Structure 1
Amino acid sequence: MMMRNPIRGRSLVLAALMVAPASLAFGCSVDASSPADGKSENAATLDEPYLVGRGIADITGEAAEGHGANYGRLDQTTVGIHIRQRARAFIVVDRTTGKRVVLVTADEGSMYASVRQAVLAKLNAKYGSLYNERNILIAVTHTHGTPGGYSDYNLYNIVTFGFHQQTFDAFVDGVVESIDRAHADLAPGTISLGRSQLSDASANRSRQAFDLDPAADKSQFPNAIDTTSVVLRFDRGGSSVGALNWFPTHGTSMTGDNGLITGDNKGYAALHWEREINGVNYRNPGPSFVAAFAQTNAGDMSPNLDLKPGTGPTNDQFANTRIIGTRQYQAARAAFDQPAEAIAGSVDYRLSYVEMEKLTVRPEFTGDGQSHTTCGATLGASFAAGSTEDGPGPEIFKEGVGNNPLIQKVTEARYKASDELRRCQAPKDILLDTGSLGFTAKILPIQLVRLGQIYVVSLPFEPTVVAGLRLRRTVAQRLGVDVKNVIVAGYANDYAGYLTSPEEYDHQDYEGGHTMYGRWQLPATLQEISRLADDLKAGRASTPGPNPPGPGGREAFQPGVVFDAPAIGYNYGDVVTQPQASYARGQQVSVVFDGAHPKNNLHRGGTFLEVQRKVGDGWQTVADDGDWSTKYHWERWGVAASRVTITWDVPADAAAGTYRILYQGDAKEIGGTITPIAGASREFAISP
């Protein structure tokens, strides 16, 4: 039995307005230069100038009665698993200097300083300063189908009913494990670059704002979308061992009504390439191939091609997830397979922490010849409206300037004593001043990573395509490199909302309302990333910036599991509904078990289910809860009992034979003891 919080609602912001302000913060580790691995060698004489390491680890959070944060809905609660969450890490070491970088892509909704700091602390305990805050980039795919509650920022923990330690630990431990595995996997290798175009996996969900941008910017995106798919290919010993892709589209193919944990379209793209194409066993710590699908400037890019939640190219959100994911895989694979540009040159990095509020922006970056200042962080009424194309908010809120007259009146009254803030944020109708309330970050990490001729701009924002273009152009100009070789990695190292151009900000769509530091936030970011680029080019250290505050309060308002009990007339693991005697390929097998609450044991690195085929006198596992073909669904059955439904969509290429489905769980006794439980269905046949 798990006690429930009676609060229900739809809007993160409406809940935020009822919560008292609290402090939040995070800490940082001391950086140090990276020592070389063994003897220094002349890279020019090496056929494999880098050491390359890869690792995958499970980061799946609470599969039941966890709460998602990215749709801002109090009623978005996890009820099971469709695709397990993974962290994928690549480590690249320059064999000449020993400098290294770590690139992590995690199937999560947002990246927060709380997670980054905990990861750094664990790595420091194992490796000292070898892996540190400057040379680690942790980014997320921005899937909206995963549990939240792992932030120290109060705004993002409101809809999750506070902090969720289990989900936080799964995220942190999984990222550390992926880096550990990549470190152990280091071996000489090469890296190459490929590019392709993908035009049917995104649509611009903020077209009116985009249309306000200058023609010189809009001309780079003829259909108002960024179609570039960029891939780094990793090879060792003449064989390909990994791929890291950047393409902009939101992780919102699955809607806010879905309760099954999912990596969404990018999670499926990685799953498809790794498991369905290359046969990777995720429960084996040494995969033969790692494919990460990272985000870039996806702020205004929706995968819902018909610009309504769960629509385009079909009206089935599961089908759309698979289709959009497959298209990303196909574009990445085309870039991966084509004759590629070899990556050559040094590995380097710079990072600074920046106080984003009240930051003076010099005229060379503002575009109007004058200095300007960023604002205290706020959210606008259009933020509360949500993205109508991906996840709308309450109907009383609307996107766009002048469309919230009631909120405008409230704003004018509320901020009469702070007219300066209202003028600074204009034309935003301020709904919530998150900065002064301590709900969101003030000090943020800005990072620049070099891999040979490739430069990765790492930001804690969701940049629109035009914001990304301006970032790439600025860095390319400062470094004197081809703009095509600059990649913007959004959703990285922390989270502080969106990053729109000043012109887009003026329209105040959802993206502008969620650009928290005002109209000059993008010029300020261009100024700070230019500073890092200048430092990198000159070979000098970057100013570290102000120290971020330490971890904040982590109040948890949702009670844990009190105890489990089987339903009357059943024992744990008993089959309530057996499968049919036989199935054809393409049909769905469904089995219902008497189970227990999955929060008792998240089975990180394991599984809650197995689909097994009889081979001789034994059984061979053909699928688990990390496969697309399976779904693990939990529901309460009375007061303390749990009903677990496991489904398996029989693949078109499934071998004929005898099968069964296993359930694995853990039950909590009244005294707190947790004991493994299991059950098995009767055998059934898959016909030829």
Structure 2
Amino acid sequence: MKKILLPLFLFLIVAGTGVIGCSTNISTGAGDGTSQVAAIDNSSLDAAVIKSNNVTTPAASDDAHLRSSVSAPAEGSTYLIGAGIYDITGPSAEIAFMGFADDTQKGAGISMRLRSRAFVIGDGINRVVFVSADTWEISQMVKLRVAQKLAADPILSKFYSAKNVCLSATHTHTAVSGFDGYFLYDAIPKGFVRASFDAIVNGIYNSIVLAHNNIEPGRIYINKGEISKCGWNRSPRMYENNPDAEKALYNGNTDKTMTLLKLVNLAGQDIGMINWYAVHPTSIGPENHLMSGDNKGHASYMFEKDMGTDYQASKTFVAAFAQTNAGDVTPNVPFTQNFGTIESAMDAAEIDRATAVALGLPWYQAYGEADIEQNIELKLMAERQYNKAKELYNSAMEPLSGSIDFRHEWVDMRTLYVTSAGTTTCPGGMGASYSYGSPSDNPSPFPLFKEGVTVDSIDWNQDFETAFLANFLPGAIGLIYPASVTDEYRECQAPKPVILATGLMSFSLKKIPLTPQIMPLQVLKIGSMAIAAVPTEVTTMSGRRIRNTVVDGLQNAGVKYAVVASLANTYASYLATKEEFQLQGYEGGGTFFGPNQLLGFQQEYGKMCAAIVNGTAIADGTAPADITGDTVNFAGGGVVFDDKPLSVSFGSVFTQPAASYRKGDIVSAVFWGGHPNNNLMTQKTYLEIEKVNADGTAKVVARDWDPETKYIWQRDSVAYSKITIVWNTKNAEAGTYRIRHYGHWKSGWTGKISPYNGVTKKFTLL
């Protein structure tokens, strides 16, 4: 997020002066992801599971799910389990990626498609949903809109709502942006991109419907194990400020444990897998322009390929590599110049010096290539997570036992009274150090402030604050900055010097703040395990404290294990401990609601756990408004029309492949095509690699979601599009092949969007 300030302020200046008006959001044609999967009524399955577990159905009430924990058979409870997966890739060209917050990092194609992976788990009385999505965040508007769609369905509304559905992002930094709704997080793409929003909302919703439709009786097994050399703490000085006695309880300054759930039906057939492991998906750097799930997306792909997953099937195996307390954990520390050396890179990658030198290690920043065969760090981080998950899955023996339950509340973090602190949390505010970013991942060449700037630093005083706002932000700041930031607010946020009071500032007549201020906090109980859904990036120690709070709070309900699902249900930057906050590193500067934010979260998770144990309700809180109707888009991005040379057709081959290649060669072809945003090809593909048989029939061996392919879009002239398709033949069989491209073009005369396809000449792989 470190480069967000300048694009934001330029955006504000342009918008405030009225130089440009709102342009039309991207318009897509058929196959754009707006179709909905129909839900089936499977309520009859509840009774069978209740009978299997010898559970007494609670009396009907307005809160029918409320009940105390129940006993379970020794071999583990029988649950209703279902898994679903759906495409959420979205527009793959000319929309900025988010995560590195670099407005020059715009999409130009696909390395691999992005997915929403959903799991429904029930005990015949209650159901919960966990979703892991290949996005950089789950925005509050996505959470609300998915809940609205569930509520609008007469079948799904009986089972699911915002209360028992948890949406968590993997936090890949190579995915589209523009779907947040709040101004700060939509600054990089220069506004709200409806096509991004719709693709993610509809894909998540459809994955939930598929999981619902697929439920059947089964069991869930839990397993845990450690991974070495798969994530390093990028803020060790801040971590060291935590109490020594607390640090002594743990093996290092990152969580190395993967927690895994294995879902199988009663016949022993594999249904799905979820694991949580703490590492940032930043193995692919900001120079990349192809969409990818990064290391967690690749690990999912590897696991699903092993299990025979069919991405176009309504029922198939689903493997989620979900995110947890990775707020201060990155794969890049030993590989990049901030902390890394050639020796640290050699040790982390387990390579010799000659190889490290040839790779140019250590790098300036995260390596800018989405190709897993060219990016050694991506390959290592993906394979290490995948290998551990396979080991844990194959050896999982401990069944989960007990009831399914949940609590959810909306908490206004501007005014939450934290009893243990004797004070309230604060309206959101971005600290000066947050602008510095993470130099281990993507160092800023011109940081506004260095890390560790506090209100007592020589680099900061109120006069400098005033001059900075007046001189650096002329015109723009007057539109949105509050008339005065009170001493009370400064004291609340101390020692953080606030450069953007995101909870007080607004670029809207409706006074919508720059970032969300009302947080959805949630606990899901799945038998003897619980999930704490946290709407931020969570540092290592913050996650440990939340897990302890939840296990302690639910131990009388039979809970032995807890995981943190981070970036869940909303995004509000970071969550550092109070001790880490005092030093104002990057994560502390991004802890928006002040030094007592973690204590406030723990307080509310404790209340929800007590309510689950006691079988009592908890106040819903006031839900935030749906602000999608109040968003703006200054980026444009709509396809006006497509053109081509008069002598060719859309789909014609501009550059044919060579006549023959050897295994391991890179094959490429270039087509005259249309803009990919004309049709997102949701659940489909822009390319196929076909193996041609002797009788002339062909078999598809790779598509645009397979990491051995690349779909690359490039604008040529004003409205020409050249489509390059690349195929790495490392794992291919010898034979005869051809490359096929699918796309859509838009008429400049009628606006009609029409499909086309093209195919290359055949070539031989020896």
Matching residue of 1:253: 283
Q: Which amino acid aligns with 1:675?
A: S
Secondary structure of 2:326's aligned partner:
coil
- Looking at structure 1, the residues matched to 532 and 233 of structure 2 have their Cα atoms a distance apart, in angstroms, of 22
Q: CA deviation at 1:474?
A: 1.5
- Residues 348 and 35 of structure 1, relative CA distance in 2, 3 Å threshold: farther
State the distance in 2 between where 1:439 and 1:417 align. Answer: 15
1:507 is aligned to 583
Residue type at the aligned position of 2:4: L
Identity across the alignment (%): 36
Cα distance in structure 1, aligned partners of 2:675 and 2:116? 25
Q: Deviation of residue 250 (structure 1)?
A: 0.5
Structure 1 match to 2:453: 401
The change in CA–CA distance for 1:501 and 1:484 in structure 2 (over 3 A counts) is farther
Structural mapping, 1:200-219, within 5 Å: 200-219=229-248
For the residues of structure 1 that align with 2:251 and 2:121, how far apart are their CA atoms? 35
Is the Cα contact below 8 Å between 1:407 and 1:431 reproduced in 2? no
Q: Which amino acid aligns with 1:554?
A: T
**Cα displacement string for residues 456-486 of structure 1 (whole angstroms, at most 9, x for unaligned residues):** 1001011111001111112222223698601
Provide, for residues 283-306 of structure 1, a one-character-per-residue CA deviation record: whole Å limited to 9, x for no partner. Answer: 22222x210010111100101141
Q: How does 1:193-232 map to 2 (within 5 A)?
A: 193-232=222-261
Match of 2:411 among 344, 354, 370: 354
Look up the SS of the partner of 2:627 in the other structure. coil
* Match of residue 479 from structure 1: 554
**Residues 283 and 339 (structure 1), Cα distance of their counterparts in 2 relative to 1, 3 Å cut:** closer
Q: Give the C-alpha shift of residue 246 in structure 1.
A: 0.3
- Counterpart in the other structure of 2:23: none
Aligned to 1:558: 635
> What amino acid maps onto 2:552 in structure 1?
Q
Any idea what the Cα deviations from partners look like across 1:169-223, whole Å, max 9, x if unmatched?
Answer: 1101111111111111111110000111012110000000001011232224433
Structure-2 change in CA distance of 1:187 and 1:42 (3 Å): closer
Is the CA contact (8 Å cut-off) linking 2:150 and 2:160 kept in structure 1? yes
**Structure 1 stretch displaced more, 300-309 or 171-180:** 300-309
TM-score, normalised via structure 2 length: 0.82
Q: Which runs of 5 or more residues in structure 2 are unaligned?
A: 17-41, 55-72, 350-358, 362-366, 470-482, 506-512
Alignment of 1:11 with 2:3, yes or no, is: yes
* Structure-2 change in CA distance of 1:425 and 1:41 (3 Å): same
Q: CA deviation at 1:37?
A: 3.9
2:574 is matched with: 498
Name the amino acid aligned to 2:425.
T
Secondary structure class of the residue paired with 2:162:
coil
Partner Cα separation in structure 2 for residue 189 and residue 603 of structure 1: 34
Q: Identify if the C-alpha distance between structure 1 residues 507 and 601 changes in structure 2 by more than 3 Å, giving closer, same or farther.
A: same
**5 Å matches for 1:366-381?**
366=421, 371-381=422-432
The residue aligned with 1:166 is 195
Q: Is the 8 A contact 2:224 2:257 kept in 1?
A: yes
Letter in 2 for 1:573: G
TM-superposition CA deviations, 1:433-460 (whole Å, max 9, x none) = 1001110111110000000000110010
Equivalent residue in structure 1 for 2:730, among 645, 651, 673: 651
Counterpart for residue 319 of structure 2: 291
- The SS at the match of 2:159 is coil
Quick check: 1:255–1:309 contact (8 Å CA) kept in 2? no
Q: Residue 182 of structure 1 aligns with which residue?
A: 211
Partner of 1:325: helix, strand, or coil?
A: helix
Instruction: State the alpha-carbon separation in 2 of the partners of residues 480 and 13 from structure 1.
Output: 44
CA distance in 1, matches of 2:679, 2:648: 22
Alpha carbons of structure 1 residues 352 and 491: separation in structure 2 relative to 1, 3 Å:
same
Secondary structure at the residue paired with 2:411? Answer: strand
Q: Distance in 1 between matches of 2:85 and 2:43?
A: 25
Equivalence map 1:605-684=2 (5 Å): 605-615=683-693, 616-652=695-731, 654-670=732-748, 671-684=750-763
TM-score by structure 1 length? 0.92
Contact preservation (8 Å) 1:309, 1:390: no
Q: What is the aligned counterpart of 1:124 among 145, 148, 151?
A: 151
Does the CA contact (< 8 Å) of 2:412 and 2:517 recur in 1? yes
Alignment check: 8 A CA contact 2:332 2:440 kept: yes
Q: Structure 1 492/63 Cα, relative in aligned 2: closer, same or farther at 3 Å? A: same
Where in structure 2 are the equivalents of 1:224-623 lying within 5 Å?
Answer: 224-236=253-265, 237-275=267-305, 277-287=306-316, 289-306=317-334, 308=336, 313=349, 317=369, 318=371, 319=375, 320-363=377-420, 366=421, 371-393=422-444, 394-401=446-453, 405=459, 409-411=463-465, 418-437=486-505, 438-480=513-555, 485-552=561-628, 553-559=630-636, 560-567=638-645, 569-615=647-693, 616-623=695-702
8 Å contact from structure 2 (residues 180, 192) kept in 1: yes
Q: CA deviation at 1:417?
A: 5.0
Query: What CA distance in whole angstroms lies between the structure 1 residues aligned with 2:641 and 2:94?
Result: 15
Q: Residues 168 and 106 from structure 1, CA distance in 2 versus in 1: closer, same or farther, beyond 3 angstroms?
A: same
Alignment match of 2:53 (pick from 33, 43, 48) = 43
Offset of 1:17 from its aligned partner? Answer: 3.6
Distance in 2, matches of 1:167 and 1:200, equals 34
Aligned residue number for residue 29 of structure 1: none
Equivalent pairs, count = 657
* C-alpha distance after superposition, 1:587-637 (max 9, x if no partner): 110111111100100001100000010123211100000001001010101
Given the superposition, is the C-alpha separation of residues 572 and 375 from structure 1 closer, same or farther in structure 2, using an over 3 Å criterion? same
Corresponding residue number in structure 2 for 1:30:
none
How far residue 406 of structure 1 moved from its aligned partner, in angstroms, is: 6.0
Q: 1:230-275, CA deviations, whole angstroms, 9 ceiling, x for partnerless residues?
A: 0000011112221100000001111111110010100000001102
Provide the rounded CA distance (Å) in 1 between the counterparts of 2:576 and 2:115: 29
DSSP-derived class of the 1:41 partner: helix
1:88 aligned residue: 117
Quick check: 454-463 or 543-552, which moved more? 543-552
The equivalent residue for 2:81 is 52
Question: Which amino acid in the other structure matches residue 431 of structure 1?
Answer: I
Q: Quick one: which amino acid aligns to residue 92 of structure 1?
A: I
CA distance in 2, matches of 1:578, 1:404: 62
Distance in 1 separating the partners of 2:323 and 2:608: 21
Distance 2:45 2:297 in 1: 33
| Residues 2 and 100 in structure 2, CA contact (< 8 A), matched pair in contact too | no
Say which is worse superposed, 262-271 or 214-223, in terms of deviation.
Answer: 214-223
Task: Tell me, yes or no, if the aligned pair for 1:201 and 1:305 is still in contact at 8 Å.
Answer: no
The separation in 2 between residues aligned to 1:125 and 1:358, in whole angstroms, is 32
In the alignment, the residues of structure 1 paired with residue 722 and residue 463 of structure 2 have an alpha-carbon distance, to the nearest angstrom, of: 50
- What is the match of residue 37 of structure 2? none
Supply the distance in 2 between the matched residues of 1:130 and 1:392 (Cα, whole angstroms): 46
Residue 387 of structure 1 and its aligned partner are, at CA, apart by 1.1
CA distance in 1, matches of 2:681, 2:674: 13
Distance (Å, rounded) in 2 between the aligned partners of 1:677 and 1:373: 59
Does the CA contact (< 8 Å) of 1:234 and 1:240 recur in 2? Answer: yes
Q: Which residue of 2 aligns with 1:26?
A: none
Kept in 2, the 8 Å contact 1:307–1:390? The answer is no
> Which consecutive residues of structure 1, in runs of 5 or more, have no partner in the other structure?
1-8, 23-33
SS of residue in 1 equivalent to 2:230? coil
CA contact (8 A) 1:381 1:407 kept: no
CA contact (8 A) 1:253 1:309 kept: no
Alpha-carbon distance between aligned partners in 2 of 1:192 and 1:145, rounded to the nearest angstrom: 32
Contact 2:227 2:256 in 1 (8 A): yes
Query: Which stretch shows the higher mean deviation, 408-417 or 101-110?
Result: 408-417
Q: Look up the SS of the partner of 1:422 in the other structure.
A: helix
Do the aligned partners of 1:59 and 1:87 also contact (CA within 8 Å) in 2? yes
Deviations 1:637-658 (A, max 9, x none): 1111001111000133x22110
